[in-house]
Amino acid sequence: MSASLAEPGYVRDLEENLQLLLFGATESTDATAAVLLVRGALARGDRVKAAQLARSTEWLAGSRPWDLAVATAASHVRGLLQRDSAVLEQVADRYPSQPARAGAVEDAGLAWAAQGRHDSAVTRLREAYRLYERLADGAGMARVRSELRASGVRLHHWKRAARPAFGWESLTDTEGRIADLVASGLSNRQVASQVFLSTHTVAFHLRHIFWKLGVTSRVELARLAAQRPALEPI
């Protein structure tokens, strides 16, 4: 992943109310972006950055007491930081969004695994796999397969080939198409009209594209795309 995840802008984006402006829209606050940012920092082993982001999310939740989505995200990042399986279990039940719920269930499974609770970990990771499968999220499925293998469990009859967790090759076909269109300068609304998805769904995919590529803005995505070898596949 790019070193940009460690730049001051990584925290600043979150502190500026996590507006969907980051992904090309301004109509609402996108609380799940906080979870992706914290998860990315932890994946890099940067607990200091993760803690900063968690505090920023708590501040945002306190400033928007009416916003249940932000409160849920704040609990989620706290559970991630503390590897608190009980908190993550509660968060998973509170998310109305299936993609967000899948992520919380996966995080709960990993927290159980860290505590040595093998059976609970496997149960939750299998559930996360089923959720990702229903969402046709190949990257999520591949990641959970890897996590289950680490717990001594192998899933059979996979429907999609495993993908890397990060980088251009980790993008699904849809994500690759969206990344190319955004990098070319199109807005989320313009992208949505070309790929026949809602602007909300495009924003969801773009959050994952940013996380997988280690960028935090459309400008960084365009720069990274320009640097990509012409024959490198997505």
Domain boundaries, the chain: 3-163
> What tens digit of pLDDT does each residue of 19-63 get?
443 333 434 456 677 788 888 888 878 888 888 888 888 887 887
Mean pLDDT of 217-233: 74
As beta bridge partners, residue 29 has: 19
**pLDDT given for residue 26 in this prediction:** 39
Closest alpha carbon to 184 in 145, 153, 223:
223
On the CB side of 134, CA atoms within 13 Å amount to 10
- Coil/strand/helix, residue 29: strand
Return the DSSP state at 19: B
pLDDT category at 163 given cuts 50, 70, 90 is low
> What tens digit of pLDDT does each residue of 189-215 get?
888 888 777 788 888 888 888 988 888
Q: State how far the Cα of 149 lies from the Cα of 158, in Å rounded to an integer.
A: 13
> What tens digit of pLDDT does each residue of 63-113 get?
778 878 888 888 999 999 988 888 998 888 888 778 888 889 999 988 888
**3-163: CATH superfamily:** Tetratricopeptide repeat domain (1.25.40.10)
- The structure's pTM equals 0.56
Q: Hey, how many other C-beta atoms are within 10 angstroms of the C-beta on 169?
A: 13
With a pLDDT cut of 70, the percent of the chain lying above it is 78
User: For the chain, how long is the longest CA-to-CA vector?
Assistant: 49
Closest alpha carbon to 71 in 99, 52, 90:
90
pLDDT surpassing 60 at residue 8? no
